[in-house]
Amino acid sequence: MNIDNFLVTMEVRLNKCYTEEQRDFIKNLDTPGICFASPGTGKTASAVAGLLLTELYKQIPGNKIYALSFTNAATLELSVRHKEACSRLGINQNVNFKTLHSMCTNILRENHELLGMENLRISSSFSIESLSRIIMSACQERNIEIDPRNIRNIVKAVRTLNSSLTFEKHNVESKMCFIETRLKYEDFTFIRKLLYDYNKLAERIQVDDIMLYTLELLLKHPEVSRKFKDQCRVMLVDEAQDLSLLQLRIISLLTDCPVLIGDIKQQIYAFNGACQEIVGQFYKYFPGAWRKYFSRSFRCKNEIADYATKLILPNHVGGEDFTGTGDGGVVTVGTGIDYDTICKEISDKFLMNRRNFEKGILFLFRNNASALPVSEAFFKWKCPFRVNNYTPVQSLPVIKDLCDFVNLATNPGILENVACLPKLIPEFRAYESYTDIPIYRIMKQKHIGLFDVNYKFKNEFNGEHVMQLLLEVHDMAVGGALASELFNKLYPTYYQVWLQERERYLEYDAKYYLRLANPIIQGKTYPALIKNEIEKMKFIDECNARRIGVRCYTFHSAKGLEDDIVYMVDCDQDIIPNASKLDRMARFNCDLDAAREIRNERSLVYVAATRAKEELHVYYNGEISKLLEGENPYLKYDMLYENFKIDYRDVEVFQEFCKEED
């Protein structure tokens, strides 16, 4: 039986009917190639069919086939769908389904001795304080001038550049994260090498660095690469547009037959090292590889497909379009409509339909923090909704500190509440732990509360001022003051003493979080605010557990989802793209970083828009993002990116970086 007849037979047994584009892909998984699949074009179904045909017709054993994705959820979905298909065909599932990260972790665990580590511990967190001591000590020995307050920026730059395999001098010096370190390239490289070797010496590797150490292992020990290649005849990589150059290089060392499937227009993880140059690099490693494309969408109506195509066009001039399912779609763009109004309309329809949703609804926003006002509105109208990783208002940056101060003022006898004092009283920052603070020790020894401690501060003005401030907040809270009044009382001192020099370490500035939290805080006493958040979290947990209600996710989290109706909110110019981020890039003349940031944001709004099947509603509050209006004020950045000539020597420089010192 020839391959076409075999595929037809498989279609009948699976109750599927593949397009010619899909069939062409399914039949070629045993040779290197790359397939671009537009939203809703049946990428996952085709991947499953390709895996089955490769095993059953091409006679490649399932245990020598690897199917990789980036997240556990995506890997699980692919595995479950493959298992269901295997059940229909009456065969066992033998294909290896893994995340790229877990595969590298396994390789490293099996071969860590080759890197000089007798034991291997993998840590999910690190202490900035301990790293700071290591860096400062080493820099003093080498007479490298370094501001202790800049350690955080240095560590951030090291981790960012490691994850993207950026080592070549020119590439490093063009990155904003490096410029913010205020170091020379040679001094930065010294610190980078110091931390890299320190982890190996301590035999404790951070989760984010697993792949970099895996690359070192494969480059230094080709026998590990050859052994894995014998085990891996085919490697299918899903969502391949989000590969970093580091990940692609690892893949090239682990298989002779990689098959990448994804959509370069949906590349949304630039902050994790994903880059548009991945296609060119793939063909350098595999020059004879094929290239295919899925253009027919089974999800979006034509109107939505056309709108989304216009959004992404500046990123892919002359690129392939995709066709929708037919006419009849709705696209609206509007302003001046608040969350409360939108959520009430949805809630009214829910109640009118006997507590059911007539159609599926997705509520999407750029930043996770936007879930706060959205959740507050849905909770107010008791409309079921789901949120991933909901962050209550008292856990937001800045707001959390203010809440800690209120907790200390209103519960001065609880020892643990003293932990926030160093943020108000600088002299206490010299202690490694709040349990070493003299006030804490006195409270514990004498079994007294904060306001009963008679302590002589080094800076009497600051210390006495803070104690008086906390006492006033205590009296205000007892008198029934609103939470907003308590926060307003505390904020000036908190900003002056702690926050002023640290705002730049926050993802957004303090004003953003205060503005975001304000509608939720207003009109509530502090106890009422906390009670409201606890009840809201219980409501969310119940909806998540029952898998009911409107799904409220970030643009990033929406990847892979679809629904009948999609709302895109907070589509403002200062949010998409992030205005303060672009300003910093402009200030440091990081035009190439800015170009990549803008392209990534276009991909994000494209992903969000293409989640909609029938209706897409776009809302903004101030000025609509130019990326959603159809204008292109970023032409200079697009031209810069298109004209940028790639000459990556990062792998070679990394090899030199990894050499053992004599």
Q: How far apart are CA 630 and CA 647, in angstroms?
A: 33
Per-position DSSP letters for 388-430, written without gaps between them? TT---GGGSTTHHHHHHHHHHHH-TT-GGGGGGGGGT-GGGGG
pLDDT for 630: 67
* Terminal alpha carbon distance of the chain: 62
**Based on the number of CB atoms within 10 Å of its own CB, is 78 exposed (0-12), middle (13-18) or buried (19 or more)?**
buried
One-letter amino acid of 307: Y
Residue 444, pLDDT > 90, answer yes
Q: Give the residue from 327, 333, 233 showing the smallest Cα distance to 605.
A: 333
Q: How far apart are CA 60 and CA 234, in angstroms?
A: 8
One-letter amino acid of 235: M
Residue 519, pLDDT > 70, answer yes
Q: Give the residue from 288, 208, 221 showing the smallest Cα distance to 247.
A: 208
What are the angstrom distances between the C-alpha of 174 and each of 148, 248, 249, 599, 600?
23, 22, 22, 17, 18
Average pLDDT over residues 9-38: 94
pLDDT for 187: 95
Q: How far apart are CA 388 and CA 540, in angstroms?
A: 9
Residue ranges of the alpha helices (H) in 57-150? 72-89, 100-111, 128-141
Q: How far apart are CA 508 and CA 581, in angstroms?
A: 9
pLDDT band of residue 415 (cuts 50, 70, 90) is: very high
Chain-centre distance for alpha carbon 164? 14
399-410 vs 460-478: helix axis angle to the nearest 10? 80
pLDDT band of residue 647 (cuts 50, 70, 90) is: low
Residue 505, pLDDT > 90, answer no
What are the angstrom distances between the C-alpha of 406 and each of 57, 466, 491?
68, 12, 11
For residue range 333-389, what is the model confidence (pLDDT) as tens digits? 988 777 888 899 888 888 888 778 888 999 999 988 888 888 999 999 989 999 988
Residue 277, pLDDT > 90, answer no
For residue range 557-580, what is the model confidence (pLDDT) as tens digits? 898 899 999 999 989 988 899 887
Per the listing, tokens 């939505």 go with: 304
Average pLDDT over residues 103-129: 87
Residue 273, pLDDT > 80, answer no
One-letter amino acid of 379: F
Per the listing, tokens 């690190």 go with: 126
What stretch of H or E contains 596? helix 591-609
Residue 661, pLDDT > 70, answer no
pLDDT band of residue 430 (cuts 50, 70, 90) is: confident
Q: Which two tokens stand for residue 267?
A: 């590349």
Per the listing, tokens 């199917």 go with: 67
210-220 vs 185-202: helix axis angle to the nearest 10? 90
Average pLDDT over residues 521-549: 94
Residue 615, pLDDT > 80, answer yes
For residue range 220-271, what is the model confidence (pLDDT) as tens digits? 999 999 999 999 999 999 999 989 989 999 999 999 999 999 998 998 887 7
Per-position DSSP letters for 157-184, written without gaps between them? HHHHHHHTT--SHHHHHT-HHHHTTT--
pLDDT band of residue 272 (cuts 50, 70, 90) is: confident
pLDDT for 579: 82
pLDDT for 621: 84
- C-beta atoms surrounding 318 within 10 Å: 5
Residue 508, pLDDT > 70, answer no
For residue range 466-492, what is the model confidence (pLDDT) as tens digits? 999 999 999 999 999 999 999 999 999
pLDDT band of residue 612 (cuts 50, 70, 90) is: very high
Q: How far apart are CA 498 and CA 427, in angstroms?
A: 12
pLDDT band of residue 450 (cuts 50, 70, 90) is: very high
Q: Give the residue from 400, 373, 383 showing the smallest Cα distance to 345.
A: 383
Q: How far apart are CA 237 and CA 225, in angstroms?
A: 18
pLDDT for 660: 74
What sign has the CA pseudo-torsion 417, 423, 428, 433? positive
pLDDT for 270: 77
Cβ neighbours of residue 120 closer than 8 Å, sequence gap 6 or more: 108, 109, 112, 203, 205
Average pLDDT over residues 196-207: 86
Q: How far apart are CA 505 and CA 501, in angstroms?
A: 9
Q: How far apart are CA 211 and CA 496, in angstroms?
A: 41
For residue range 70-100, what is the model confidence (pLDDT) as tens digits? 888 889 999 999 999 999 999 998 999 999 9
- Strand-pairing partners, residue 361, are 565
- C-beta atoms surrounding 50 within 10 Å: 26
Number of alpha carbons in the 13 Å side-chain half-sphere of residue 92: 5
pLDDT for 514: 87
Mean pLDDT, all residues of the chain = 90
Q: Comparing 415 with 149, which gets the higher pLDDT?
A: 415
Q: Give the residue from 661, 643, 654 showing the smallest Cα distance to 215.
A: 654
DSSP class of 319: P
pTM of the predicted model, to two decimals? Answer: 0.86
pLDDT for 432: 80
Residue 644, pLDDT > 60, answer yes
Average pLDDT over residues 179-184: 91
